[in-house]
């Protein structure tokens, strides 16, 4: 018997023996899910049942199911129960790492998890419960979406929508996670995407507005479901944050994501027991940024060094690659992370990177995670494609979002901070104290010196006996003037720090940031 399997053993005796016997019978019928054959077919595809998925996610034995015998009964002429077909939504509460959450799982063994085989009141109750009780919500989605058969069941057409579904309000209040475990069409796709974190299983899950049959009918196009909405599609679309190699990996990511967040926006994220020395200084950091500005480096290695060991959890790795978004810990405290990646588009702010930055800043602001921004920003992406995509509008949205956040924010300029995109590395007006530091490798300005020299001194360079040497001399002169030390002379930067000092500085700041949050938000973990 698994943790999610309802207890089937009842003492059917006493004055209510008949009723207790019927309760036991109904529980047994509901526990069959879609029946032996349907369950076997599902598992033959290498997939867990809905109940097994809940067991994998939650702490052992912690699941308390709600509405366990909800379904459609079949009766004889005398009104006696012959059979019970449970609805294909399993809901309840449980514990994840000791913390209470709400979980809702589609049972694919019953009519492919379709809304035609469920009762919306049941899964919506789980959502309303999460909102009312301020508990995180995890949706385990495996549904074929709507079915035309629903029309026959209801004997009337239903206007789309669920008036009592607090989907948007949930996002303002509690952490919401959507896990795509199969073909998630229509409502299923919305359940995955209307979340703070979404993950899909490679080659098993698909997310789309409608599946191949509908696409065929509408457009006459034959398309494979993975080509329509598989993980390779959503690496580019940015619809789904992360991908997983299998179901176990997907649920592991859910557990890890929620470990950084509080139960609701009315609380602050919990601290884990520190396991890493806040004063740790990795010597290699002094050489992390190449002196040759044309050479790139590995930003993820820098992140791994600065934050608590093994604490960096990346979100959306395959989308907007010029910016890395992650959750991490400093001396056990959860933080949000933004980090430029010069290996993708030179680190420039693309439209996808702008969208990714905006989404991450909103997540951290909602749940009180201070933000650390590791900056190497050459500016907004340029060129015909970038202009056609409306990249600047995406950048403006980032500016609006960052200025609206009310979380402590610290920026460390690793290398570049140029132009409009470079200027949006931190809020200008809140917090009142803009914590901004730089490594000796940092440079900043309205435009990069290399391109600026060509524009400002074009005629002089062309007229020189040795244009290349003339350009190099001008660049060297401007780089001397643009030294971060000259900015520090005017207190334009809070401090220039040795890269090896960074972790200790961050951990000290984190303790102060937590105190600020407790004072301004009036909340604790």
| Average pLDDT for 242-256 | 97
Binned at pLDDT 50, 70 and 90, residue 1 comes out as: very low
Report pLDDT digits (tens) over 293-303.
Answer: 889 999 999 99
Q: Is 253 helix (H, G, I), strand (E, B) or coil?
A: helix
Closest CA to 307 of 283, 336, 284: 336
Q: Which fold has domain 34-259?
A: 2-enoyl-CoA Hydratase; Chain A, domain 1 (3.90.226)
| Average pLDDT for 271-290 | 96
Report pLDDT digits (tens) over 387-399.
Answer: 988 999 999 999 9
Predicted confidence at residue 113, as pLDDT, reads 73
Report pLDDT digits (tens) over 413-440.
Answer: 999 998 888 888 888 866 656 689 999 9
Q: Is 431 helix (H, G, I), strand (E, B) or coil?
A: coil
Helix (H) and strand (E) counts for the chain?
A: 21, 19
Indicate whether 29 pLDDT > 70.
yes
Predicted confidence at residue 374, as pLDDT, reads 98
Binned at pLDDT 50, 70 and 90, residue 210 comes out as: confident
Report pLDDT digits (tens) over 71-86.
Answer: 899 999 988 999 988 9
Binned at pLDDT 50, 70 and 90, residue 313 comes out as: very high
Indicate whether 376 pLDDT > 80.
yes
Query: CA-to-CA distance for 102 and 350, rounded, in angstroms?
Result: 37
Indicate whether 320 pLDDT > 70.
yes
The Cα-based distances of 484 to 305, 364, 389 in angstroms read 23, 30, 34
**Residue 336 near residue 369, CB atoms below 8 Å:** yes
> Which tokens hold the place of 262?
């509080």
Q: Which residues contact 111 (CB under 8 A, 6 or more apart)?
A: 34, 88, 117, 144, 147
Is residue 430 classed exposed, middle or buried when 0-12, 13-18 and 19+ CB atoms within 10 A define those classes? Answer: middle
**Where do the domains of the chain lie?**
34-259, 283-439+497-521
Predicted confidence at residue 114, as pLDDT, reads 75
Is residue 160 classed exposed, middle or buried when 0-12, 13-18 and 19+ CB atoms within 10 A define those classes? Answer: exposed
| Average pLDDT for 24-53 | 92
Binned at pLDDT 50, 70 and 90, residue 155 comes out as: low
Q: What is the DSSP string of 54-113?
A: HHHHSPTT--EEESTT-EEEEE-TTS-EEEEEE-SEEEEEEEETTEEEEEEEE-TTTGGG
Query: CA-to-CA distance for 489 and 491, rounded, in angstroms?
Result: 6
Q: Which residues contact 262 (CB under 8 A, 6 or more apart)?
A: 175, 268, 269, 270, 367, 368, 523, 525
| Average pLDDT for 274-303 | 95
| Average pLDDT for 481-500 | 90
Closest CA to 356 of 288, 437, 170, 345: 345
Binned at pLDDT 50, 70 and 90, residue 47 comes out as: very high
Binned at pLDDT 50, 70 and 90, residue 6 comes out as: low
Share of the chain above pLDDT 90, in %: 64
**Residue 356 near residue 325, CB atoms below 8 Å:** yes
For 327, the enclosing helix (H) or strand (E) is strand 323-330
Mean pLDDT of the chain: 89
- CATH code: domain 283-439+497-521 is 3.90.226.10
Q: Is 447 helix (H, G, I), strand (E, B) or coil?
A: coil
Binned at pLDDT 50, 70 and 90, residue 146 comes out as: low
């Amino acid at each position: 018997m698994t943790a999610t399997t309802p207890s089937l053993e009842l003492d059917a005796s006493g004055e209510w023996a008949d009723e207790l016997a019927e309760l036991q019978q109904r529980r047994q019928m509901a526990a069959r899910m879609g029946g032996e054959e349907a369950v076997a077919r599902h598992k033959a595809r290498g997939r867990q049942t809905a109940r097994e998925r809940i067991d994998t996610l939650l702490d052992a034995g912690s699941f308390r199911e709600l509405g366990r015998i909800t379904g459609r009964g079949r009766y004889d002429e005398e009104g006696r129960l012959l059979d019970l077909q449970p609805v294909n939504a399993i809901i309840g509460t449980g514990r994840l790492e000791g913390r209470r959450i709400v979980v809702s799982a589609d049972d694919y063994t019953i009519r492919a998890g379709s809304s035609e085989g469920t009762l919306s009141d049941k899964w919506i109750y789980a959502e309303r419960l999460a909102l009312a009780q301020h508990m995180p919500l995890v949706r385990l989605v495996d549904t074929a979406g709507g079915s035309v058969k629903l029309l026959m069941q209801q004997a009337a057409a239903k206007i789309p929508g669920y008036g009592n579904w607090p989907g948007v309000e949930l996002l303002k209040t509690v952490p919401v996670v959507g896990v795509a475990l199969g073909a998630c069409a229509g409502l299923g796709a919305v359940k995955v995407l209307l979340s703070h974190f979404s993950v899909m299983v490679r080659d098993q899950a698909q997310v789309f507005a409608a599946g191949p049959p509908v696409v065929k009918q509408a457009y006459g196009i034959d398309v494979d479901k993975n080509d329509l909405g598989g993980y390779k599609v959503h690496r580019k679309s940015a619809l789904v944050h992360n991908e997983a190699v299998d179901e176990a990996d997907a649920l592991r990511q859910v557990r890890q994501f929620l470990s950084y967040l509080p139960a609701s926006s009315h609380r602050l994220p919990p601290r884990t027991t520190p396991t890493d020395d806040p004063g740790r200084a990795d010597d290699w950091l002094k050489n992390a940024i190449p002196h040759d500005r044309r050479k790139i480096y590995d930003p993820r290695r820098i992140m791994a060094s600065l934050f608590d060991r093994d604490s960096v959890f990346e979100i959306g790795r395959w989308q907007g690659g010029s910016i890395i978004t992650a959750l991490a810990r400093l001396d056990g405290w959860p933080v949000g992370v933004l980090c430029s990646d010069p290996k993708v588009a030179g680190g420039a702010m693309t439209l996808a990177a702008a969208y990714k930055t905006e989404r991450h800043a909103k997540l951290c602001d909602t749940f009180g995670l201070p933000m650390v921004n590791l900056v190497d920003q050459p500016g907004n992406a340029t060129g015909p494609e970038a202009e056609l995509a409306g990249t600047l509008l995406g950048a403006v949205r980032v500016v609006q979002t960052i200025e609206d956040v009310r979380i402590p924010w610290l920026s460390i300029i690793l290398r570049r901070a140029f132009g409009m995109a470079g200027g949006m590395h931190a809020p200008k007006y809140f917090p009142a104290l803009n914590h901004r530091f730089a490594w000796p490798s940092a440079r900043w300005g309205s435009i990069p010196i290399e391109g600026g020299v060509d524009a400002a001194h074009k005629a002089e360079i062309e007229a020189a006996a040795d244009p290349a040497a003339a350009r190099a001399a001008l660049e060297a002169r401007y780089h001397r003037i643009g030294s971060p030390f000259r900015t520090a002379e005017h207190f334009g930067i809070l401090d220039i720090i040795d890269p090896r000092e960074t972790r200790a500085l961050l951990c000290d700041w984190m303790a102060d940031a937590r105190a600020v949050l407790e004072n301004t938000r009036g909340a604790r973990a």
